Amino acid sequence: GNFKEKQQGQHKGIDPIIMWNDPAVISSLHDFYGIAADKFPFETNLLVRSVDAKPKRVYYVSEPVRRIMEINASTHELKVVVVGIKLFERQEVKGATVPCSYRLAQEGLGMLDRLMTKQVVRLSLKEMHDILAARSLPRHHFEGHTGEQLDACYQGCCVIRLREGETLPPGTVEGAAPLAVTCWKGPASLNLLIPATEAFVILEQLGGEKPKKTGYNGEKGKQAQQGKPAAAAEGDASDATVKAEATADGAEPEATAPAA
């Protein structure tokens, strides 16, 4: 519409860049993920590439870049095609109530992981291998303290992290693989929110072996190899509906989940 054209200025066909501060959504991010308000500049350094009331993706930019973007909003001297690190994606949930409408993006997880005090499950190395290989596991797979942590999380996006003190296998390069991964907690299962190819790379970097068959339910193997997020574990098929969408920055898989 006219508003979008005005935001783009002289660079027609380029998505608008809008500094974004939605108090209600940001409050839900603080509460759901347990990130203290003074720990990260949500209110000042987030931007979106859409004029929609509920933008699909939310990006972070550093303070120097934020100032440049604000100046460019009036001068339009720069044709900005790509900017920022993706932190969140809007999560459409069908048939269930999730306290926060935005899930974490793996791309920006490293910036927020250590600040989170909620929605974090710390796994042993074996448990990390298991979930990376299967990509979807039923709740009863996780026992003891791990199961208790999982039960303490709300349904929705969460993060699995390698438990501190775990010894990596010989030959593993420490720091080569991310030790935290975005997941979706359904009513009765835990599902990765990263493509199969990325999960298997992390698995091998952590000393695990790529499985011959992918997915907790072997029938999901072909789908997983195509780089789509894990569907729900068998017997919990309502947890996740896998959907791939073509986006402005390429074909990006998205999990739309869960149903009650």
125-139 residue pLDDT tens: 999 999 999 999 999
In this prediction, residue 247 carries a pLDDT of 30
| Cα radius of gyration rounded to whole Å, the chain | 19
In this prediction, residue 14 carries a pLDDT of 75
Average pLDDT over the chain, rounded to an integer: 80
- Lowest mean pLDDT segment, chosen from 57-61, 155-159, 172-176, 220-224: 220-224
Distance CA 67, CA 146 (A): 43
- Lowest mean pLDDT segment, chosen from 15-24, 72-81, 83-92, 179-188: 72-81
- Lowest mean pLDDT segment, chosen from 13-17, 124-128, 171-175, 192-196: 171-175
Residue 187 near residue 260, CB atoms below 8 Å: yes
In this prediction, residue 120 carries a pLDDT of 97
For residue 229, say if its preceding peptide bond is cis, omega within 30 degrees of 0. Answer: no
Q: Is the dihedral of CA 57, 62, 67, 69 positive or negative?
A: negative
- Lowest mean pLDDT segment, chosen from 22-36, 49-63, 72-86: 72-86
**Helix (H) or strand (E) run with residue 75 in it:** helix 63-75
pLDDT tier for residue 174 given thresholds of 50, 70 and 90: low
pLDDT tier for residue 81 given thresholds of 50, 70 and 90: confident
From first CA to last CA, the distance across the chain in angstroms is 37
pLDDT tier for residue 241 given thresholds of 50, 70 and 90: very low
Residue 150 near residue 70, CB atoms below 8 Å: no
Rounded mean pLDDT of 72-85?
85
In this prediction, residue 13 carries a pLDDT of 64
Distance CA 168, CA 205 (A): 10
Q: Is 239 exposed, middle or buried (0-12, 13-18, 19+ CB in 10 A)?
A: buried
Residue 231 confidence (pLDDT) above 60: no
Residue 176 near residue 227, CB atoms below 8 Å: no
In the beta sheet, which residues pair with residue 159? 120, 182
Q: Is 203 exposed, middle or buried (0-12, 13-18, 19+ CB in 10 A)?
A: buried
Rounded mean pLDDT of 233-254?
35
In this prediction, residue 115 carries a pLDDT of 96
Which carries the bigger pLDDT value, residue 6 or residue 163?
A: 163
Residues whose CB falls within 8 Å of the CB of residue 20, separated by 6 or more in sequence, listed in order:
46, 47, 48, 55, 58
